[in-house]
């Protein structure tokens, strides 16, 4: 008998193209996860419409409605528990999750970042890679810890930085890789194929997954 689908909650603040990639992947017959809930701290986020179009339950938790971060985090946790979410994916979610939230949730929390970490963590990764003169950038899916973009790396994909790139063109090239990488990384996690030893994340023996952290997938 097939294993039950892992229940995934996706946290968003913006356009939600990565959410869309996860929704599309989860429609594939052999995908090991379903998107059970989408939560946004921004009521007008385009991502919410994507969730509704896909018939996925949504929760809107405007962070300004909460007196402090801990109260916001508690509301998040309650929503995730109500929907029996087992894995959280941050997909352009513009809030930092507190240590207490991570401990209380207990399951894996993944994030996607538009740079090859540990280079260019934080808000303006694409702009910073360009300004630095990097010749290669890319994206990283990592486990979330208490820091900002510091958790163990699950998978990375590289893209070239081309002469004449501006922030929009480089971001678009990175986005295209994000949309391939995030569903692959979530698949590994949902199938229970990663093991974490300190900072090191090892993927299982499936040929399709070997070396994911070393080269572009696909």
Q: Which is nearer to ligand GRF, 36 or 140 (CB)?
A: 140
In the complex with ligand GRF, which residue's Cβ is closer, 74 or 119? 119
Q: Is 113 a catalytic residue?
A: yes
Q: Is 15 in the site for ligand GRF (CB under 6 A)?
A: yes
3-state secondary structure labels for all residues of 169-217: HHHHHHHHHHHHHHHHHHHHHHCCCCEEECCEEECCCCHHHCCCCCCCC
Choices 32-40, 108-116, 188-196, 210-218; region in contact with ligand GRF by CB under 6 A: 108-116
Q: Active-site residue among 113, 142, 175, 179? A: 113
Question: What single string gives the DSSP state of each residue in 50-68?
Answer: HHHHTT--EEE--GGGSSS
Answer for which of 87, 97, 112, 203 binds ligand GRF (CB under 6 A) is: 112
102 binds ligand GRF, rule: CB under 6 A: no
With vertex at residue 136, the alpha carbon angle to CA 132 and CA 139, rounded to the nearest 5 degrees, is 100
Both structure tokens of 104: 């209380």
**Neighbour tally for 17: CB within 10 Å:** 16
Q: Report which of 22, 64, 19, 67 is spatially closest to residue 43, judged by C-alpha positions.
A: 64
Looking at the Cβ atoms of 144 and 188, the one nearer to ligand GRF is 144
18 is a site residue for ligand GRF (CB under 6 A): yes
**Residue list 152-181, contact with ligand GRF (CB under 6 A):** 175, 178
Name residues contacting ligand GRF, limited to 58-87 (CB under 6 A).
none
Catalytic residues: 113
Binding interface with ligand GRF (CB under 6 A)? 14-18, 91-92, 112-114, 139, 175, 178
């Amino acid at each position: 008998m097939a294993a039950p689908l892992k229940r995934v909650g996706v946290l968003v603040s913006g356009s939600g193209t990565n959410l869309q990639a996860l929704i599309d992947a989860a429609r594939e017959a052999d995908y090991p996860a379903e998107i059970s809930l989408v939560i946004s701290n921004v009521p007008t986020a385009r991502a919410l419409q994507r969730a509704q179009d896909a018939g996925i339950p949504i929760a809107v938790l405007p962070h300004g409605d909460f007196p402090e971060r801990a109260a916001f985090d508690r509301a998040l946790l309650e929503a995730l528990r109500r929907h029996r979410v087992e894995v959280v994916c941050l997909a352009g979610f513009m809030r930092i999750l507190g240590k207490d939230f991570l401990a209380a949730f207990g399951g894996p929390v993944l994030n996607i970042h538009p740079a090859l970490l540990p280079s260019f963590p934080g808000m303006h990764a694409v702009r910073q890679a360009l300004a630095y003169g990097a010749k290669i950038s890319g994206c990283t899916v990592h486990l979330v810890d208490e820091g900002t973009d510091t958790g163990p790396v699950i998978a990375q994909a590289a893209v070239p930085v081309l002469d004449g790139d501006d922030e929009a063109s480089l971001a678009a090239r990175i986005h295209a890789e994000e949309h391939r990488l995030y569903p692959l990384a979530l698949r590994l996690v949902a199938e229970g194929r990663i093991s974490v030893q300190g900072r090191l994340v090892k993927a299982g023996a499936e040929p399709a997954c070997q070396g994911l952290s070393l080269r572009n997938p696909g």
